[in-house]
Chain A
Amino acid sequence: MSQIEKKNQEFVKTNAAALDKENNQEFGYWKSLKDISSEEDYNRFLKQSEHNIDNGLSRRNFLSLIAASVALAGLEGCKKPVQKIIPYVEAEIGTIPGIPKYYASTLPFKNNALGVVIENHDERPVKVEGNEKHPATMGKSNSFAQASTLEMYDPDRARGIKFKGNNIDWSEYLKFAKSLNETDGKGLAVLMQESSSPTIKSIKEDFKKNLPNANWVVYESINNENLYDGIEKAFSKRLQPLYRLENAQIIVSLGSDFLGVDDNNIYHTRKFAQNRDIVDENSTMNRLYVAESSISSTGSSADHRLNVAQHEMENLLAELAYELKVLGLPINANKVKGPNNLWIKAAAKDLMSNEGESILLGGSSLSKEFHQLIALINHQLNAPVDYYPLSLSQVSSINDFKSLCDDMKKGKIENLIILGANPVYDSPADFDFAKSLSKVKNTVHLTNIVDETSKLCSWNIAMNHYFECWGDAMTYDGFVSVVQPQIMPLFDSRSAIQVLSPIVYSKEQSAYDTVKSVWKSKIIKKGNFDRAWDKVLHDGLFEKPLFNSVDVKPSSKASTKVLNDNFKLDNNKFEIIFNPSSSVYDGRYANNGWLQEIPKPVTSLTWDNAALISLKVAKKLNIKNGQMLEIAVGSKTIKIPAFITPGQNQKSISLELGYGRKFEGRIGNGVGFNVYPLRTSNNSCFVLNASIKVLNETYPLASTQDHHGLEEDKYAAPGFDDLAPKEAQSRIPELVKQSTLDYYQDNPDWVQKKVEQHKPDKKKSWADHSMYNPDWDYSKGPQWGMSIDLTSCTSCNACSIACQSENNIPVVGKEQVMKGREMHWIRIDNYFSGDPDNPEVSTQSVACVHCELAPCETVCPVAATTHSSDGVNQMTYNRCLGTRYCANNCPYKVRKFNFYNYTRDLPEVVQMAMNPDVSIRFRGVMEKCTYCYQRVSAARISAENENREIKDGDFQVACQQSCPADAIKFGDINDPNSEVSKAKRRNRDYALLAHLGTAPRTTYLAKIRNQNPMLVSNSYNGGSH
């Protein structure tokens, strides 16, 4: 079969998966399958993806057109420019131009699979949502998944095939690859990132078979190797744990950021939040203990956070083990003197008293002994952890990688195939990969962008985005889901399968065929394959898992001794912790503007990484925010600006990985500071005895929030620098209403009491306090409203990026962010209170709250912002004049202004990522949350067309759909049975700044902390003023 025909077939199958989200699956794929499969289909498919680009572009220019037509104000100027309509040549079955189609697919992330549904407008994928049928996402998503759209349309992506920098034909590579196939594999090595793809796995097996002497290495700079080793030591099986948090009442995390950037965070957050969904004072909720050295999303959502240095984490575990001795652990634990007794005792007590419903999690950054111990304890606690075989997925192995590097140095490796990884940038400093690479004759780099590694490789092959290629991936618990293309490759790129197959099989195989054959032989063994396969394409995954959880029993007797006296920290020295970045992870997302600009949880820092230091250290060494530090570990030194962070351990300095890249990415090149040089193979997670030198140069850091409540007001009148922080502190209980569970159970109505306090007339609703009776009646028809649960929100940023993707929100760049001009419609406020070393964090995501009596509307001189009959505060961009009065008068400061034409220099490719249902805003125009009115309209119109009332669940707004904690509810508040009405009926419901009488449609559910009476610290029970 020719390449063309194969692609054509790929197309057919893509089409097969076309489905209206709700119904007629039968019709959906059966018909399309029969009807289309010919050369033309493929050509047409190509054409669509081309000419639909135009559709995408035209939307954005609308306001500049107005500008133009005004510019040439002559009467001829009023004549509109000639526009073309370019129809299909052939009708596309089941397609009406302009009606989006949804295809199920999978985002492979390391050795996990995130099932997604991708929204296509005219064959142009523009939005990623979670796949409700998929066990790892359950319809939810995270910021990486949301931002993958922009990654797809990154103009800096590598293009075509290059040999020593020159474009070269694919066939040349095929020749080279086939030549490798002739050998027995001596001197050949494949280096790839972690993967759980059964297809890649089977290719690997054939590779081993056909090229016995070849070498296949998996390396990932951020990996769980210690965890797996630990479990292996504990149960003598190498297993993948899966934490069933929905069954856990007590969760103790020692350095694990399982709600934040750790793997499988969607699953964890979703399950964790299920036990935080408090209906009323009688509901129960789980309790989270977190011990960590720098504050993370997990730490900020903890009920009890303990601030310990990373290197003391193991002592902590030892002490905990001692407290848990009574369980009869296969451990010889002896008491360890630690300062944290109370916390440990409390945690231990809870763990034991909730046996079977309590769980202990360890940070992947800790030693194997540590994890061994944790595994044993969990087993003893009969904790809700399932263990699954790892054999089918390929996980990183530092030893393999080390030996590979050694072989390369020795010149034993002649041909190296690097699939996706970027080892020159992110491999341990002591390996000096770049040097070893120079010893290799032929190096092939399959890469999505020309990066540090590509520059040193002879062959550069552009890698497919997962929107463009066939593939598959598997969840921890063995559910295999399929990656299916949404669009033909934009940049003449290839998938790993296409690169490997000529080497392994000495002939090129289309990704589609390979995947399908693997599924046929390995996955869908029983029944009618074609039928099952089509269902897989439709659902996105195969309903039966490949394997079940395995039972484990302790094999070894562990000892806490190994833990105790490993680490010594000299005085005036610090430990350095390397954390994956919540924005760019290990650096792979460095060229993604959305992720670079999203404020990081807790610090609200954008466009940079920094050395996070504690307030006390800053005071002692007199360090200001942004002051450059020189951090020295042994001989290696780096320079990086300091950022003072509450909750940071005094002994440790946290550094985010993934910045300071030197590659051909216009967005991410040179952003931030590269900290990999300090990171070596044997302390890849933290390193002791770093010394810091305070330089007297400062570096501008762009943080989107000036006031978290604990920092001093450095410009204030002499002697009053604590004024603003004090005020901020005093407002926290007002804005983020919160209490402990106990207090809430004793005073279930405390929130309502506080709301009432400010009402002039208790009987009346807020809207009734208007000066004269309005002509408006919101009791009819659907009335939209939102409820945000502050108890389950983990400030993970998924909503903010989902919003950015859905509503075409521009990226403005570091300078503008520093001026305070970031455009995110959803702002996530972080407030700190209490002890600076271990503060209580109150997070709150704030978007337009759609006041029924909106201050912004009445002041607009041209009626550009008005109220709709369904109660939405509407911003009409094309009427907006830009007086900015509305934004001034907004008490919540949620309106964002286009100070410049931020989309002016947007490359055309990026414009393909834009949602055609939403206008691109021109400069001088105000914008804000619209409750995703494009979705409201679509749902309303289809309901009307079907002559039915619009019903709850017909649609979701972007933030709600993405929220892995399911903290956001949206719907019709006139429908008593809608999710949002139920949420708003809860007695924790309150409106932000209610005393202003703006009567917001978005309300919040008060934050409840489930604190252990043994160590209650919560400062606000019902709050102050």
Chain B
Amino acid sequence: MSKFGVIARFESPESLVHAAEKVRDKGFTKFDCHSPFPIHGMDDAMGLKRSKLGYLIGAMGLTGALFGFGLQTWIHSIEYPMNISGKPYFAYPAYAIITFELMVLFSAFGAVFGMMFFNRIPRFHHPVFYSEKFSDVSSDAFYVSIEVDDPKYDENNVIDFLRNIGGTEIEVLSDEN
């Protein structure tokens, strides 16, 4: 059975943020702060870099736009040119809307599935779910979790450290089976 790490509960968003700062300053990298809602300023507190998601979305949007415009141009100028209302084959102003719509559609896919990809979800099975108390995190609980494979991880020190910075209900979780 492989260990996962330690989790500790905190009282409020405020205390969680402060705890995060301390953990960060202690030099931990493989840790996370769990809360029922996104907490303003937490990224800095944890020292996270900006998300890369934006680039993905941008790329997807561009693809969509190009695809949309390309498709229409190909259909009417190359594949099957037809005289429709005596308009030219390459009636680009008419293509604007579908181009735009496909751009939006693709970037929406980019956003949602990109988010899932970066968050590694769906992930239905996770060690933290072994903890009964942890489930409050989706309602009113605030947790810090420090993982085993953090280079600075030393179980006892970690537990002490967490208790010192005000963590309660500290649990050591491992992936049992």
Binding site for B on A (CB under 8 A): 767, 770-776, 852-855, 857-858, 860, 863, 866-869, 999
Contacts and interface: CB of A to CB of B under 8 A. Distances in A.
B98 to A, nearest CB: 12
B87 A770 contact: yes
Contact of B84 (A767, A770, A772, A857): A857
Interface in B83-118: 83-89, 91, 93
Nearest to B81: A775
A868 B83 CA distance: 7
Nearest to A767: B86
Nearest to A863: B82
A867 B84 CA distance: 6
A773 B88 contact: yes
Nearest to B82: A866
Contacts of A767: 86
A866 B83 contact: yes
A287 to B, nearest CB: 43
8 smallest CB-CB distances across A and B, nearest first, come from: A858-B85, A867-B83, A857-B85, A774-B86, A853-B86, A857-B84, A775-B88, A866-B82
Nearest to A856: B85
A797 B166 CA distance: 98
Contacts of A853: 85-86
Contacts of B93: 771
Nearest to B88: A775
A855 B88 contact: no
Nearest to A865: B84
B84 A776 contact: no
A878 B91 CA distance: 26
B88 A867 contact: no
Chain B interface size band reads: 10 to 19
16 contacts: A767-B86, A770-B86, A771-B93, A772-B88, A773-B88, A774-B86, A775-B81, A775-B83, A775-B89, A854-B85, A854-B86, A857-B85, A860-B84, A863-B84, A866-B82, A867-B84
Nearest to B83: A867
Nearest to A999: B86
A776 B82 contact: no
B92 to A, nearest CB: 9
Nearest to A858: B85
Contacts of B91: 772
Contact of A858 (B81, B84, B89): B84
Contacts of B86: 767, 770, 774, 776, 852-854, 867, 999
Contacts of A770: 86-87
Contacts of A774: 86-88
A797 B87 CA distance: 36
Nearest to B94: A858
A275 to B, nearest CB: 39
A664 B12 CA distance: 93
Contacts of B84: 857-858, 860, 863, 866-867
Interface string B24-43: 00000000000000000000
Nearest to B77: A775
A583 B73 CA distance: 53
Contacts of A866: 82-84
A857 B76 CA distance: 14
A854 B93 CA distance: 18
Given A772-B91, A853-B86, 7 more contacts: A771-B93, A774-B86, A858-B85, A860-B84, A866-B83, A866-B84, A867-B83
A189 to B, nearest CB: 68
Contacts of B88: 772-775
A867 B89 CA distance: 13
Nearest to A773: B88
Q: Please indicate which of the listed interface residues B81, B83, B85 has the most CB atoms of chain A within 10 Å of its own CB.
A: B85
A776 B84 CA distance: 10
A470 to B, nearest CB: 51
A870 to B, nearest CB: 11
A769 to B, nearest CB: 11
A776 B81 CA distance: 11
A773 B93 CA distance: 14
Contacts of A852: 86
A772 B89 CA distance: 11
Contact of B85 (A773, A867, A868, A869): A867
B75 to A, nearest CB: 10
A854 B86 CA distance: 8
Most buried by B among A855, A860, A863, A868: A863
A885 to B, nearest CB: 13
Nearest to A868: B83
Nearest to A874: B83
B120 to A, nearest CB: 41
B83 A869 contact: yes
A773 B85 CA distance: 12
A844 B174 CA distance: 91
Contacts of B89: 775
B65 to A, nearest CB: 22
Interface string B2-39: 00000000000000000000000000000000000000
Contacts of A863: 82, 84
Contacts of B83: 775-776, 866-869
Contacts of A776: 83, 86
B97 to A, nearest CB: 13
A854 B84 CA distance: 8
B146 to A, nearest CB: 59
Nearest to B92: A772
B82 A858 contact: no
Contacts of B81: 775
A771 B82 CA distance: 18
B73 to A, nearest CB: 14
Nearest to B75: A863
A767 B83 CA distance: 14
A853 B86 CA distance: 5
Contacts of A860: 84
A563 B136 CA distance: 113
A855 B93 CA distance: 17
Interface centre among A773, A776, A868 (most CB of B within 10 A): A776
A852 B85 CA distance: 7
A774 B84 CA distance: 10
Interface string B56-92: 0000000000000000000000000111111111010
A860 to B, nearest CB: 8
A772 B90 CA distance: 10
Contacts of A773: 88
A529 to B, nearest CB: 58
Contacts of A868: 83
Nearest to A770: B86
A858 B89 CA distance: 12
Nearest to B80: A863
A259 to B, nearest CB: 39
Contacts of A775: 81, 83, 88-89
Output the residue of B83, B88, B91 with the most chain A CB within 10 A: B83
A772 B93 CA distance: 10
A860 B91 CA distance: 15
A771 B92 CA distance: 12
A851 B84 CA distance: 11
